[in-house]
Amino acid sequence: MRLEDILFSQGFGTRRVCAGLIQQGHVQVNGETIVDAGQWFDLEDLRFQVQGQEWPFAAQAYVMLNKPAGTECSQKPSTWPSIYTLLPAPLRQRPQKAAVQGVQAVGRLDQDTTGLLLLTDDGKFIHKMSSPKHHVPKVYEVTTKHPVTADMVARLLSGVVLDDDPRPVKAAACEAVGDLHLKLTLTEGKYHQVKRMLAAVGNRVEALHRSQIGGLVLSDLAPGQWRWLSEQDLALLKP
Ligand code: URA
């Protein structure tokens, strides 16, 4: 692919902006500054630098973010800063494929929830991961207001009824990991599900952190940091 088209496909701006970046000497491939915007490169394992920053070529982008508290998973947040402000511009500006421009969050976490959030520009992946048929387990670390009792754990495992559906929802796994701490695994993603399940058993969520989706564990990333997902990471998300 031509270098100008490569940069365009990776979200570095319009073709004209990308050509300008190249012609002004801001782009390196294999350590060499390339000033010919039309030069061809093989996309396999291609890495390049733009203004000193290293980028891999990714036909589709899949990343994980350690969502900090006090951020909204919305492009147009109402109260808190958007999680999208934590991502570099190219990830947000990757050209539109289907209805999706840039990477989008795979499901949402509440403003005050922290931890593992996936983002991608692969609309099919978002659809598949969000489908109720795709029971990929999500692990939440819950800090509770009141002590966790054996009865609460038993009720969360056997099923509790929430206000919007008469069918009980149950945790796929649940264990007390401290007096005020629970580890809860859910396979659905209903609105405020953890908070409502805890309320249904007479407790209250003080802090909520998602640590795992499928076999993929949140990396050692500081809150607000992100990283690319590898093929191996993606394989861990298959049910
Ligand atoms: N359940 C909740 O209540 N909130 C979240 O952010 C995620 C799951």
User: In this predicted model, what pLDDT tens digit does every residue of 158-193 receive, in sequence order?
Assistant: 999 998 889 999 999 999 999 999 999 999 888 999
The preferred substitution site among 106, 184, 194, 198 for testing ligand 1, maximizing ligand atoms within 8 Å of CB, is 194
Q: Which class for 188: exposed (0-12), middle (13-18), buried (19 or more C-beta within 10 A)?
A: exposed
Does the pLDDT at position 97 exceed 70? no
Is 220 a residue of the active site?
no
- The CATH number of 137-213 is which of 3.40.630.10, 3.20.20.70, 3.30.70.1560, 3.90.1150.10? 3.30.70.1560
| Closest listed residue to residue 57, CA positions, set 15, 90, 88, 34 | 90
H-assigned helices in the chain: 3-9, 15-23, 89-93, 123-130, 150-158, 193-200, 231-235
DSSP state of 40: B
Q: Where are the domains of the chain?
A: 3-56, 62-131+221-236, 137-213
**H/E element, 227:** strand 226-228
Q: Is the CB of 193 under 6 A from ligand 1?
A: yes
Instruction: Please state the rounded mean pLDDT for residues 75-87.
Output: 95
Q: How far apart are CA 72 and CA 85, in angstroms?
A: 10
Output the DSSP codes for 66-111.
EEPSS-BSSSS-SSS-BGGGGS-HHHHHPPPBTTB-S-EESS---T
Instruction: Please state the rounded mean pLDDT for residues 81-101.
Output: 88
Opening angle at CA 190, ends 72 and 175, nearest 5: 100
Tens digits of residue pLDDT in 102-158: 999 999 999 999 999 999 999 899 989 988 778 899 999 999 999 999 999 999 999
Distance in Å, CA 88 to ligand 1 centroid: 26
Q: Is the CB of 109 under 6 A from ligand 1?
A: yes
pLDDT of residue 100: 64
| Helices and strands, counts by H and E, the chain | 7, 15
Report the CATH number of the 62-131+221-236 domain: 3.30.70.580
Instruction: Mention the CATH class of domain 3-56.
Output: alpha beta
Q: One-letter amino acid identity for 234? A: L
pLDDT above 70 as % of the chain? 98
pLDDT of residue 98: 61
CATH topology agreement for domains 3-56 and 62-131+221-236: no
> From the candidates 110, 122, 164, 233, which is the catalytic residue?
110
Distance in Å, CA 108 to ligand 1 centroid: 8
Distance in Å, CA 104 to ligand 1 centroid: 18
